A and B are shown apart, each in its own frame.
Chain A
Amino acid sequence: MAVVVESRYSQAIHPLHEVFLAGSLSLFLGATLSDIAYATTYHIQWNNFASWLIVGGLLFAGIALIFAIVDLCRASRRAKGIVLYTAILLLTWVVGFFNALMHARDAWASMPGGLVLSVIGTVLALVATWLGFRTPRIGGTK
């Protein structure tokens, strides 16, 4: 007797998707730590580091966001929870974008707003990464 097994799971997220998603977290975290270093030492180089780390985080999160949106559009990859994951990732990117503008201000004008946005962005990136990886999926099977 033939048994039809219907998968309740979508395919695993693409390995590159994983790399960019997790990578954005470390970049945003690096920006936060750099901001803290600037705020406590007034050494301007930390402010420069933070600015570039945010741009890196935006690039990585942006690529991950494109993967997530493509997954949203394909039934075989539309895993349960992906809408929330994509929304949080989008929010991460938007916060990161405003943080980049905040960091474009000269010297201490980027503070304390820049540090606040960096912390929020890092927390959002952590949540997005968590959601992105915990979404139930299986790889390979149809």
Chain B
Amino acid sequence: MKYSSLLTIATVSTLLSACGGDTGTMQYGPTVELPEPKYGLLPDMKVAKPAEWGDQRPTVPEGYTIDAIATDLQIPRQTLLLPNGDILVAEGRGGNAPSLKPKDVIAGYIKGKGTTSVQSGNRLTLLRDADGDGAYETRTVFADDLNAPYGLALIDNSLYVANQDALVRFDYEDGQTQASGPPEKVTDLPSAINHHWTKALTASADGQVLYVGIGSNSNITERGMTAEVDRALVWAIDANTGAHKPYATGLRNPTALAIQPDTGQLWAVVNERDEIGPNLVPDYLTAVQEGGFYGWPYSYWGQNVDTRVRPQDPDKVAAAITPDYSLGSHVAALGVAFSNPAMGQEFADGVFVGEHGSWNRKDPVGYKVVFVPFSEGRPAGPPIDFVSGFLGSDGKTRGRPVGVTVDPRGALIVADDLSNTVWRVTPVQNRPS
């Protein structure tokens, strides 16, 4: 069933809604052409109907294979590679944003059609491949009773987990399959409403600072400006004391963070605002500048003013930084990881980006994992499909990628929160014979 047709109630509404065809322009890279905003009477909504994988598998480049290393999880979102090769999977669903308008009720119902019906796991699952044959034969619940855990980071013997309401710490020893006890709280995280509830997490290269991505509490301030205190920013948290400060602001929904090897620079993928057309606003990948302001809510992609925000703030608009690299509008990037030479020559230098897939667009985009090649530490060239086929040619979606993690031994771990699977993509030459 096409949900777009459900909403296109009558011809007259189609005429009045400004949901014109997609221009088809590729919005990739450091400079993009942005169309004028379109305010349709009805926002374009198209959520692909879920289907089972059956015998099908996601598509990977030639010379690579993909395996499901864990299935029947409880909404896997982000993964963490532990030093001994074990994989930790954060499972859960958060958010408690109330419906404020009749529109929220209807839109929530439609978007819900494209997500899993499984209950939130609120736990960490550990996967182990003890003999290195690529099959993760051991599976344990590392910790449960968490609150929508999402971001994961390991510093020495401390495992940090970003719940939707707090950053917590577990003791961790190499080889452990189960937490030794309940976690201790490092600091509370902003959690009122939690329209965007995911708390992305990564640790600085020196292990002193934890960066937490905190999304906005609305699409574009429709829950009021007071709901946006301490939102749409990245916090820098002292790993020892839990003291925090804003590191960068104006980032609407920083859903995944990663530290660049060699330079130690913090990078983020950020989901931008909706409902001003199919080609606005590009989600992006950017190096996060300390103290930088990236526009939300006052402007997008630098100084493009969003007139939906009142009162406006010309000074903030003037200060807004243009992000480094557009991933395309509405792709919903939820995962980012730096690659390494073990991933194969073509994919050795760059980042993998997990794209959950669009809802606010007639022609769906995203629903894949792309590789953004880097050169001299900066993005260079258009994104390359690395794992695709989540959205089938039949228009149905069998999976939706979220977190991506690179195994130093040469494998990409992809969490899929629709089919509740963890996928592992390996170069064929890395596979044990």
Partner-B contacts on A (CB < 8 A): 42-45, 47-48, 51-52, 55, 98, 100-109
Q: Mark B38-54, 1 if CB is under 8 A from A, else 0.
A: 01011100000000000
Q: Which residues of B contact A42 (CB under 8 A)?
A: 310-311
A-B residue pairs, 9 tightest by C-beta: A104-B103, A106-B222, A44-B224, A101-B41, A109-B308, A42-B310, A51-B101, A107-B308, A107-B222
Chain B nearest Cβ from A98, distance in angstroms: 7
CB proximity to A under 8 Å, residues B166-224? 218-224
Chain A nearest Cβ from B326, distance in angstroms: 22
CB proximity to A under 8 Å, residues B211-246? 218-225
Given A45-B224, A101-B41, decide whether A108 and B310 contact each other with a Cβ distance below 8 A. Answer: yes
Q: How far is the CA of A7 from the CA of B356 in the complex (A)?
A: 70
A106 adjacent to B102 (CB under 8 Å): no
Given A102-B41, A107-B308, decide whether A52 and B101 contact each other with a Cβ distance below 8 A. Answer: yes
Q: Which of B101, B275, B276, B309 contacts A108 (CB 8 A)?
A: B309
Q: Which residues of A contact B221 (CB under 8 A)?
A: 44, 106-107
Q: How far is the CA of A103 from the CA of B223 in the complex (A)?
A: 14
Q: How far is the CA of A107 from the CA of B42 in the complex (A)?
A: 15
Given A107-B221, A107-B308, decide whether A98 and B41 contact each other with a Cβ distance below 8 A. Answer: yes
- B16 at the A/B interface (Cβ < 8 Å)? yes
Given A44-B221, A101-B41, decide whether A107 and B310 contact each other with a Cβ distance below 8 A. Answer: yes
Given contacts A51-B102, A51-B103, A106-B221, 6 further A-B contacts (CB under 8 A): A47-B101, A48-B100, A52-B101, A52-B102, A109-B39, A109-B275
Partner-A contacts on B (CB < 8 A): 13, 16, 39, 41-43, 100-103, 218-225, 275-276, 307-311
Number of interchain pairs (Cβ within 8 Å): 60
Chain B nearest Cβ from A106, distance in angstroms: 4
A100 adjacent to B310 (CB under 8 Å): no
B309 adjacent to A107 (CB under 8 Å): yes
Chain A nearest Cβ from B10, distance in angstroms: 10
Q: Which residues of A contact B308 (CB under 8 A)?
A: 105-109
Q: Which residues of B contact A101 (CB under 8 A)?
A: 13, 41-42
Q: Which residues of A contact B309 (CB under 8 A)?
A: 107-108
A sample of 18 inter-chain contacts (CB < 8 A) reads: A42-B310, A42-B311, A44-B222, A45-B224, A51-B103, A100-B102, A101-B13, A103-B101, A104-B43, A105-B39, A106-B218, A106-B219, A106-B275, A106-B308, A107-B218, A107-B222, A107-B310, A109-B308
Q: Which residues of B contact A104 (CB under 8 A)?
A: 42-43, 101-103
Chain B nearest Cβ from A30, distance in angstroms: 15
B102 adjacent to A55 (CB under 8 Å): yes
Q: Which residues of A contact B102 (CB under 8 A)?
A: 51-52, 55, 100, 104
Q: Which residues of A contact B103 (CB under 8 A)?
A: 51, 103-104
Q: Which residues of A contact B225 (CB under 8 A)?
A: 44
Between A45, A47, A102, A106, the greatest number of chain B beta carbons within 10 A of the residue's beta carbon is seen for A106
Q: How far is the CA of A55 from the CA of B308 in the complex (A)?
A: 22
Q: How far is the CA of A31 from the CA of B262 in the complex (A)?
A: 58
Q: Which residues of B contact A47 (CB under 8 A)?
A: 101, 222
Chain A nearest Cβ from B250, distance in angstroms: 17
Chain A nearest Cβ from B332, distance in angstroms: 18
Given A48-B100, A55-B102, A100-B102, decide whether A105 and B275 contact each other with a Cβ distance below 8 A. Answer: yes
Q: Which residues of A contact B43 (CB under 8 A)?
A: 104
Q: Which residues of A contact B311 (CB under 8 A)?
A: 42
A106 adjacent to B220 (CB under 8 Å): yes
Q: How far is the CA of A108 from the CA of B223 in the complex (A)?
A: 12
Q: How far is the CA of A51 from the CA of B307 in the complex (A)?
A: 20
Q: How far is the CA of A43 from the CA of B43 in the complex (A)?
A: 23
Chain A nearest Cβ from B155, distance in angstroms: 39
Chain B nearest Cβ from A73, distance in angstroms: 24
Q: Which residues of A contact B100 (CB under 8 A)?
A: 48
Q: Which residues of B contact A105 (CB under 8 A)?
A: 39, 275, 308
